[in-house]
């Protein structure tokens, strides 16, 4: 593990207030935040959106299987914790290709005795390998919720990114769901901070347009309220109303 280079998972961990990061991650994270302070809200909104989506799918919809790709470093309210809190028999498979992330996941992400929690060392760019390994823990004849949180932006070409998501969804049965969010290119400060971030040595991240992010849901039945800013996707009624610029968009779609 090269701690002299910034790492996206550790930078996100830093933004979320975690301790699993190094000086270089803090330096890059602070430089990004200086250019665009809203990135901390983005990190928190992304986690909160994931939580609300998983809780809805495990609760009202009755999904019992989750495939979480691009796990990132463990933090509060991870996918299996939310799903198994609602339904203890839920099965969750985490996917990442970073040794640090996998080591932390295996040590910290322990599920309920009734359910199952597994970890796959695989690359998003190889969806067939992900599905092949996931099938060892998940029943792919039954619906699965695929979650992709702020990870597809690391795929350079949009056409390639669409192909990866389409291939993953094609391998899942009818009644499966896509839970997706990525950052948009509408905020100039975020765009400039991302440009500088991509020059830092960390894995580059590419902002998409609103139309491009909506395109990941083509062929799926969108749940209300559709593809929207993260804080506006079924917010907690007791929370303050969403404010600020649109930084990232997310949604949940069902495969017919």
More confident residue, 208 or 11: 208
Say yes or no to pLDDT of 236 above 80. Answer: yes
pTM score of the predicted model: 0.92
Q: In terms of DSSP H, where are the helices of 137-182? A: 158-170
The more confident residue out of 114 and 5 is 5
Q: Of the segments 15-19, 75-79, 204-208, which one has the largest average pLDDT value?
A: 204-208
Banded model confidence at residue 140, pLDDT cuts 50, 70, 90:
very high
Cα separation, 135 vs 26, in Å, equals 37
Measure the N-to-C terminal CA separation of the chain; round to a whole number of Å. Answer: 42
Q: Are 57 and 252 in contact (CB under 8 A)?
A: yes
Give the whole-angstrom CA distance, residue 196 versus residue 193.
5
Q: How far is CA 97 from the centre of its chain?
A: 14
Distance in angstroms (rounded) separating the CA atoms of residues 51 and 155: 24
Task: Provide the 10 A C-beta neighbour count for residue 47.
Answer: 20
- Please, are residues 152 and 164 in contact by the beta-carbon 8 Å criterion? yes
pLDDT for residue 16 is more than 60:
yes
Predicted confidence (pLDDT) at residue 242 exceeds the cutoff of 60: no
pLDDT tens profile 214-232? 999 999 999 999 999 999 9
């Amino acid at each position: 593990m090269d701690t002299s280079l910034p790492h996206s998972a550790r930078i996100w961990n830093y933004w979320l207030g975690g301790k699993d990061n190094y000086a270089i991650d803090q330096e890059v994270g602070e430089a990004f935040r200086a250019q665009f302070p809203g990135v901390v809200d983005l990190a928190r909104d992304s986690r909160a959106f994931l939580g609300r989506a998983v809780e809805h799918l495990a609760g009202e919809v009755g999904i019992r299987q989750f495939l979480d790709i691009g796990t990132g470093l463990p933090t509060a309210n991870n996918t299996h914790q939310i799903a198994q809190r609602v339904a203890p028999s839920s099965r969750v498979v985490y996917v990442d290709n970073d040794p640090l992330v996998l080591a932390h996941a295996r040590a910290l992400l322990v599920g309920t005795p009734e359910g199952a929690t597994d970890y796959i060392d695989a690359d998003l760019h190889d969806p067939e390998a992900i599905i092949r390994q996931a099938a060892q823990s998940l029943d792919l004849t039954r619906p699965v919720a695929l979650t992709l949180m702020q990870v597809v932006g690391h795929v350079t070409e949009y056409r390639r990114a669409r192909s990866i998501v389409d291939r993953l969804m094609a391998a899942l049965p009818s009644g499966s769901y896509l839970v997706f969010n990525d950052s948009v290119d509408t905020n100039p400060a975020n765009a400039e901070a991302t440009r500088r971030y991509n020059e830092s040595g960390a894995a580059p991240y590419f902002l998409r347009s609103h139309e491009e992010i909506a395109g990941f849901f083509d062929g799926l039945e969108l749940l209300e309220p559709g593809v929207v800013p993260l804080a506006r996707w079924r917010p907690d009624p007791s929370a303050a109303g969403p404010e600020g610029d649109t930084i990232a968009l997310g949604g949940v779609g069902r495969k017919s």
